[in-house]
Chain A
Amino acid sequence: MSLENIVIQDAQIGQINFEQVKKRQRAKSFIKGMLFLLPSIILFSIFLFYPLGRTIYLSFFLTNAAGETTVFIGWQNYVNLFTSPIFMQSMKSTFLFVLYTVPFTIIISLFLAMIANEKLKGIGFFRTVYSSTMGISVAAASVFWLYLFHPSIGLLNMILETLGIDGIGWLTDPDWALFAVSITTIWMNIGFTFLILLGGLQSIDSYLYESADIDGAGYFYKVRRITIPMLSPTLFFVVTVTIINAFQTFGQIDILTQGGPVNSTNLVVYSIYREAFVNYKFGSASAQAVLLFIIILIMTFLQFKFGERKVHYQ
């Protein structure tokens, strides 16, 4: 009897101990895990979460020139944005810009990557040339295009004029300016996109092509059935990154058009810059930044939800 009691007690104690130890160990591993994560948590907090929180906070206020909050106005900054024709124009331009740049960048780069993937003598030279725009800074590239677009002494208009066509006001005509900036951006992005796609093409196993050859498959059949599916993870990455980049375009706008003519190239990030650092309205600029954040978040989410289904991972 007494012996039994002791055994039961012992068992209970053992169970309690076991639970406690388990808890303690879990806490320990949690702390350990946190310790490993700490550097990135600290960095993210300082450089991402705090500014993000601060931006949201600022978007509910009017500010003075130093960016200090003066009057709390609730949602008024957001209401003003949605009723402002200038901001609506800038949203429209941004979406058009994404529409112009992303598909063309990817199609052109994919084409270049596929021809550069052929095993020919001296192909390294062409690979280098095709990826070379990656090595040019946004500022340098924009200045270079600024001269090409110049209304009277620019190369593009000179060519048009020798062909007997009237020169185009590339950067001064509201119908052309966004198009001109898009051309510049496509040209600048080709280098990076080309390089990533070429990398993706090179990692496709050659035995797939060999067996297709044995089966007597034609070139385009191989492209459609092997290259594109096997390249889909890379393509997905490139599409996501290019879209985000297009939404965040700033440098070429600042140098080429400064948002003009008639606000036709006033893309969202440039509009934020102008609102904050020219007009000193940090509240309204923050509200725009928050909206941009939400839009990119939704776009990326949609892409992962619908785009990723078609991605084939090996």
Chain B
Amino acid sequence: MKKLIAVLMLGLVLFIAACSEEGDTEEPETSGATDSDTAEASAETSEATGEKQTVTFWHSMGGAGQEALNAIVDSYNNSQDAVQVNAEYQGTYDEALTKFNSVAGTDSVPNMIQTFEIGTMSMINSGSIVPIQELINADGYDMNGLEENIVNYYSLDGTFYSMPFNSSTPVMYYNKDAFEAAGLDPEAPPETFEEVEEASKAIVESNPDMKGFALQAYGWLYEQLLANQGALLLNNDNGRTDTPTEIGWTEEEGKSIFEWVKRMVDDETFANYGTNGDNMMAGFLAGDVSMFLQSSASSRDVIDHAPFEVGIAFLPHPEAKERAGVVIGGASLWMIDGKSVEEQNAAWDFMKYLQTPEIQAEWHVGTGYFAINPAAYDEQVVKDAYVEMPQLQVTVDQLQATEASYATQGALMDMIPEGRKIMETALETVYNGGDVDDAYNTAVDQFNAAIEQANAARGE
């Protein structure tokens, strides 16, 4: 008997060992891209003869974006013999920025890093970057060829700090088939908060299993809904003329979003997916909700996977306010300091290559991000894609309809990631039946406290 138990135990141990090996291999699957990329990169480096200038490029594009980006990097490496770009995936924007902060000032820094728009101020404050303005001046490069609204975000006091690369704006996705079934005009999507409410009611009436509208508790969307009313996020012109000291929106502007959501929650036409964007998208694709807001960068994914016809519309605004437009979101490329001039020039050459119309056209169609270079919209690839998916064009129209102002230029400050979390908590409170006034006032207090502390931490 003892022997049998011993054998059993041994078998168990072996099984567990096998299992845990299996378990271990699961993890790299998510981060596997990093490893294979690095491996590829080092393989390529060793292949490269000494003449080639290597450029290390840290990015945060996973999934479809990574495939599209790797294709572009390969095409660049094959197009000339002087420069070899090694693209390395470093996790999400947050993770990449943390990694960068920990190696800043050492030899391990990359030549280029892709950072999200709200990291702009942290990058400038870090002091380990070269403003691309220096390279623009040295090279005589013309930034005017690029999309004005995108370029506006990344220039501060007339200086360009980073090269815009992947830019997107929020749009409203809606289910055309459901609109038709509810007797709504699928070609005339709701434009204002009030119209969204009406449409939601009609949808729920015609199909009790489908909710009308979903708003992911995502600080970025809150910022966009503010900007669309012409409201500032931070004072001192969104932090563009001086360091912000408090919030920039008025109570009426800030609360309108909460009250809008509250009315739909009370009508039971609102679908609560919390902070999880993937769940919201899955819910939309499964026909559980008829409208939702999300980045235009998802448009290709949504259109490809929906079993019904998808409509894309402009971001809604309160009836009492004019539409002011959207803030550019996404990420830009930063040139890192402390590298040789040859390496910098090589990285600059790659940045310029990314802005060519052909590459931007490929990028736009492959992902749903904008073309930074408007000339890309004349490329045949884009024209063909628009015939097939006319919705893609709406995202571009919305950007071009945006009027340049401090509100739509977007806010600059290093505490914005924290501010987003604060607004997300407040939104979730309302989704779960909390009081609008309480949630709003708590959020504003916390937001102001975060600004104050961020200013104190800079020790100025």
A binds B: yes
A63 at the A/B interface (Cβ < 8 Å)? yes
Chain A 111-153 interface residues, beta-carbon cutoff 8 Å to B: 119, 123-124, 127-128, 131-132, 134-137, 139-140, 150-153
Contact A134 B20 (CB under 8 A): yes
Write the B91-123 contact mask toward A (1 if CB under 8 angstroms, else 0): 000110110011010000000000000000010
Q: A260-B428, A262-B432 are in contact. Are A152 and B286 (CB under 8 A)?
A: yes
Name the one of A64, A135, A169, A281 contacting B23, with C-beta atoms under 8 angstroms.
A135
Closest to B211 in A: A152
B138 at the A/B interface (Cβ < 8 Å)? no
Contact B27 A277 (CB under 8 A): no
Name the one of A71, A258, A281 contacting B275, with C-beta atoms under 8 angstroms.
A258
Query: Count of B residues near A, CB < 8 Å?
Result: 57
Contact B457 A64 (CB under 8 A): yes
B459 at the A/B interface (Cβ < 8 Å)? yes
Write the B9-29 contact mask toward A (1 if CB under 8 angstroms, else 0): 101100110111011101100
Contact B8 A279 (CB under 8 A): no
Q: A150-B279, A151-B279, A153-B282 are in contact. Are A136 and B23 (CB under 8 A)?
A: yes
Question: A83 CB to closest chain B CB, in angstroms?
Answer: 11
Q: How far is the CA of A12 from the CA of B122 in the complex (A)?
A: 75
Closest to A119 in B: B1
Chain B 405-433 interface residues, beta-carbon cutoff 8 Å to A: 414-415, 417-418, 421, 424-425, 428-429, 431-432
Residues of chain B within 8 A of A263, CB atoms compared? 425
Q: How far is the CA of A195 from the CA of B95 in the complex (A)?
A: 36
A103 at the A/B interface (Cβ < 8 Å)? no
How many pairs of A and B residues are in contact by the CB < 8 Å rule?
140
Q: Footprint of A on B, CB under 8 Å?
A: 1, 5, 8-9, 11-12, 15-16, 18-20, 22-24, 26-27, 30, 94-95, 97-98, 101-102, 104, 122, 125-126, 217, 272-276, 279, 282-283, 286, 288, 414-415, 417-418, 421, 424-425, 428-429, 431-432, 434, 446, 450, 453, 456-459
Residues of chain B within 8 A of A65, CB atoms compared? 97, 101, 122, 125-126, 414
Contact B425 A135 (CB under 8 A): no
Q: A63-B457, A127-B12, A137-B26 are in contact. Are A151 and B94 (CB under 8 A)?
A: no
Residues of chain B within 8 A of A152, CB atoms compared? 282-283, 286, 288
Contact B453 A281 (CB under 8 A): yes
Residues of chain A within 8 A of B429, CB atoms compared? 262
Interface of A is mostly: loop
A-B contact sample (20 more), CB < 8 A, given A62-B459, A140-B26, A152-B288: A62-B453, A63-B457, A64-B457, A65-B101, A65-B125, A66-B126, A67-B102, A70-B459, A132-B16, A134-B16, A136-B23, A137-B24, A137-B27, A150-B279, A151-B283, A195-B16, A258-B275, A262-B428, A280-B414, A280-B417
Name the one of A86, A123, A281, A283 contacting B8, with C-beta atoms under 8 angstroms.
A123
Q: How far is the CA of A152 from the CA of B429 in the complex (A)?
A: 21
Q: How far is the CA of A255 from the CA of B275 in the complex (A)?
A: 12
Sorting the interface of chain A by its residue count into under 10, 10 to 19, 20 to 34 or 35 or more gives 35 or more
Closest to B94 in A: A278
Contact B457 A62 (CB under 8 A): yes
Give 11 A-B contacts (CB < 8 Å), ordered by A residue. Answer: A62-B459, A132-B16, A137-B23, A139-B27, A172-B432, A195-B12, A257-B274, A274-B421, A280-B122, A281-B418, A281-B453
Contact A172 B273 (CB under 8 A): yes
Q: How far is the CA of A258 from the CA of B428 in the complex (A)?
A: 13
Q: A62-B457, A153-B286 are in contact. Are A135 and B16 (CB under 8 A)?
A: yes
Residues of chain B within 8 A of A235, CB atoms compared? none
**Which 9 residue pairs are nearest across A and B when measured between Cβ atoms?**
A135-B19, A172-B274, A62-B457, A70-B459, A279-B418, A124-B8, A152-B288, A140-B26, A137-B23
Question: A242 CB to closest chain B CB, in angstroms?
Answer: 19
Closest to B21 in A: A135
Contact B457 A281 (CB under 8 A): yes
Write the A14-28 contact mask toward B (1 if CB under 8 angstroms, else 0): 000000000000000
A303 at the A/B interface (Cβ < 8 Å)? no
Q: How far is the CA of A171 from the CA of B1 in the complex (A)?
A: 48
Q: A62-B457, A131-B12, A131-B16 are in contact. Are A262 and B425 (CB under 8 A)?
A: yes
Contact B26 A139 (CB under 8 A): yes
Residues of chain B within 8 A of A64, CB atoms compared? 125, 457-458
Residues of chain A within 8 A of B24, CB atoms compared? 137
Q: A65-B414, A136-B23 are in contact. Are A70 and B458 (CB under 8 A)?
A: yes
Q: How far is the CA of A169 from the CA of B102 in the complex (A)?
A: 39
A229 at the A/B interface (Cβ < 8 Å)? no
Contact B26 A174 (CB under 8 A): no
Q: Footprint of B on A, CB under 8 Å?
A: 62-67, 70-71, 86, 119, 123-124, 127-128, 131-132, 134-137, 139-140, 150-153, 169, 171-174, 195, 202, 257-258, 260-263, 274, 277-281, 283
Closest to A173 in B: B432
Residues of chain B within 8 A of A281, CB atoms compared? 418, 453, 457
Residues of chain A within 8 A of B102, CB atoms compared? 66-67
Q: How far is the CA of A236 from the CA of B126 in the complex (A)?
A: 49
Q: How far is the CA of A70 from the CA of B432 in the complex (A)?
A: 40
Question: B441 CB to closest chain A CB, in angstroms?
Answer: 13
Closest to B25 in A: A137
Question: B416 CB to closest chain A CB, in angstroms?
Answer: 10
Residues of chain A within 8 A of B418, CB atoms compared? 278-279, 281
Name the one of A66, A261, A274 contacting B104, with C-beta atoms under 8 angstroms.
A66
Tell me which of B11, B15, B126, B415 has the highest count of chain A C-beta atoms within 10 A of its own C-beta. B15
Question: B424 CB to closest chain A CB, in angstroms?
Answer: 7
Residues of chain A within 8 A of B97, CB atoms compared? 65
Q: A71-B456, A135-B20 are in contact. Are A66 and B425 (CB under 8 A)?
A: no
Closest to B283 in A: A152
Name the one of B5, B26, B425 contacting A202, with C-beta atoms under 8 angstroms.
B5
Residues of chain A within 8 A of B283, CB atoms compared? 151-153
Residues of chain B within 8 A of A280, CB atoms compared? 101, 122, 414, 417
Question: B268 CB to closest chain A CB, in angstroms?
Answer: 12
Residues of chain A within 8 A of B425, CB atoms compared? 260, 262-263
Residues of chain A within 8 A of B275, CB atoms compared? 257-258, 260-261
Q: How far is the CA of A246 from the CA of B433 in the complex (A)?
A: 30
Residues of chain A within 8 A of B9, CB atoms compared? 202
Contact A136 B19 (CB under 8 A): yes
Residues of chain A within 8 A of B456, CB atoms compared? 62, 71
Contact A128 B15 (CB under 8 A): yes
Residues of chain A within 8 A of B98, CB atoms compared? 277
Q: How far is the CA of A153 from the CA of B126 in the complex (A)?
A: 44
Question: A143 CB to closest chain B CB, in angstroms?
Answer: 9
